[in-house]
């Protein structure tokens, strides 16, 4: 059994987080992951606080286990969601797509464990100084908003830069990925794409089908020009956006083109206008199964890989 300090810190059985995927990671998915022994995380995305509160209450109605809320810092509702997680006494807050410094003291004072996503060494050092409980080192293999560095390059540097437990994310979807993350010094993993195939993940069937049929070169990054690079499946919409981005479309029109595209993918399965966020690892997601089974299977796969690594040492 693979256990690490993060299990004890959070009161979870397996050191596996489910990524806070905007529009996707709701109370039902988060509760299923937490019930399965990992850490389920509700995504606030761009939603108002009352939506987040309702999802927190749904999760609480399903599970007694700890779960988290991810706050997407580019959201216009980030301030109100930051207060809501305190009112609702959630166990863990993760943050993404920005610098959460101004919220950290209030969360810690409320007894919340604070685990920011960091995409650089400087951010990891800052979060350590401000008292974060752990950090998530997310490489650019991941889906959605991506940083510059890959998981392979980022994780060991973040491990060297902080005394906090490091959770590796980006490009992890099976036991080998978990083993590799631990070899790099991580004490846990976060997976998003792999949980898209969970039975409890309520995305449109077209979205699930696309993930299950994905191949190695199936994702691309758009949005660099506006400063918010996003990895998604290579669909007609992604190609159209890319052509507009590099074809000189004005910034405001480009922003308008993306508005609503995540919702269209998740709720309508709209192949033409939807933006299907996905990590590079989608090709390794092969079947639909319960979230609890995903966690157990991956952690059981990781054990012999970690133990077998010593065969190279003569």
Considering only residues 277 to 306 of the shown chain, the ones binding ligand TUI according to CB under 6 A are: 277
138 binds ligand TUI (CB under 6 A): yes
Q: Which two tokens stand for residue 108?
A: 């810690």
Q: Give me the residues paired with residue 145 across strands.
A: 230
Instruction: Give how far the C-alpha of residue 147 lies from the chain's centroid of Cα atoms, to the nearest Å.
Output: 13
Q: Are strands 135-138 and 219-222 parallel, antiparallel or unpaired?
A: unpaired
- Buried b / exposed e over 271-309, threshold 16 CB at 10 Å, is beebbbbbbbbbbbbeebeebbebbbebbeebeebbeee
**Residue 134 burial (CB < 10 Å; 0-12/13-18/19+)?**
buried
Q: Which stretch binds ligand TUI (CB under 6 A): 27-35, 102-110, 118-126, 306-314?
A: 118-126
Residue 22 is a binding residue for ligand TUI (CB under 6 A): yes
Which of residues 25, 82, 85, 117 is near ligand TUI by CB under 6 A?
117
171 binds ligand TUI (CB under 6 A): no
| Number of residues lying near ligand TUI (CB under 6 A) | 19
> Token digits for 110?
């409320």
Per rule CB under 6 A, is residue 98 in the interface with ligand TUI?
A: yes
Closer to ligand TUI by Cβ: residue 241 or 299: 241
* Of residues 149, 171, 169, the one with CA closest to residue 16: 169
Cβ at position 147, least distance to ligand TUI in Å: 4
**Chain position whose Cβ is nearest to ligand TUI:** 144
41 binding ligand TUI? (CB under 6 A) = no
Nearest approach, Cβ of residue 6 and ligand TUI (Å): 18
Rule CB under 6 A: say whether 123 interacts with ligand TUI. yes
Assigned token pair, 38: 């990992």
Task: For the segment 49-88, give every residue that binds ligand TUI (CB under 6 A).
Answer: 72, 74
Q: Is the CB of 10 or the CB of 117 nearer to ligand TUI?
A: 117
**Residues 237-266 vs ligand TUI: string with x where CB under 6 A?**
------------------------------
Residue for token digits 């810690």?
108
Question: d(Cα 294, Cα 271) in Å, to the nearest integer?
Answer: 27
Name the residue nearer to ligand TUI (CB basis): 111 or 227.
227
Stretch that binds ligand TUI, among 57-65, 114-122, 148-156, 263-271 (CB under 6 A): 114-122
Beta strands in the chain (DSSP E): 16-18, 41-43, 68-72, 92-96, 113-118, 135-138, 144-145, 166-169, 188-191, 219-222, 230-233
Residues that bind ligand TUI (CB under 6 A): 22, 45, 72, 74, 96-99, 117-119, 123, 138, 144-145, 147, 228, 230, 277
């Amino acid at each position: 059994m693979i256990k690490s300090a993060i299990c004890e810190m959070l009161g979870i059985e397996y050191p596996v987080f489910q990524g806070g995927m905007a529009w996707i990671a709701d109370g039902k998915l988060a509760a299923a992951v937490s019930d399965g022994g990992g850490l389920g995380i509700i995504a606030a995305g761009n939603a108002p606080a009352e939506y987040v509160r309702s999802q927190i209450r749904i999760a609480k109605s399903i599970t007694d286990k700890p779960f988290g809320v991810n706050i997407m810092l580019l959201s216009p509702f980030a301030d109100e969601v930051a207060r809501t997680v305190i009112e609702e006494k959630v166990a863990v807050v993760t943050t993404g797509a920005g610098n959460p410094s101004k919220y950290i003291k209030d969360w810690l004072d409320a007894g919340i464990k604070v685990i920011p996503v960091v995409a650089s060494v400087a951010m990891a050092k800052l979060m350590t100084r401000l008292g974060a409980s752990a950090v998530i080192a997310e490489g650019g293999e991941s889906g959605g908003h991506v940083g510059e560095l890959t998981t392979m390059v980022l994780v060991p540097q973040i491990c060297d830069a902080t005394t906090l437990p490091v959770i590796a994310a980006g490009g992890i979807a099976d036991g080998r990925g978990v083993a590799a993350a631990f070899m790099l010094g991580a004490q846990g993993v976060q997976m998003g794409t792999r949980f898209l195939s969970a039975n409890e993940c309520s995305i449109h069937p077209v979205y699930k089908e696309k993930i299950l049929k994905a191949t190695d070169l199936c994702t691309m990054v758009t949005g660099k020009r506006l400063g918010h690079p996003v990895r998604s499946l290579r669909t007609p919409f992604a190609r159209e956006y890319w052509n507009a981005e590099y074809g000189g479309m004005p910034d405001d029109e480009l922003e308008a083109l993306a508005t609503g595209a995540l919702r269209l993918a998740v709720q309508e399965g709209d192949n033409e206008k939807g933006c299907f966020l996905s990590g590079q690892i989608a090709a390794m997601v092969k079947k639909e199964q319960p979230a609890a089974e995903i966690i157990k299977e991956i952690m059981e796969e990781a054990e012999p890989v970690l133990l077998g690594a010593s065969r190279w040492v003569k």
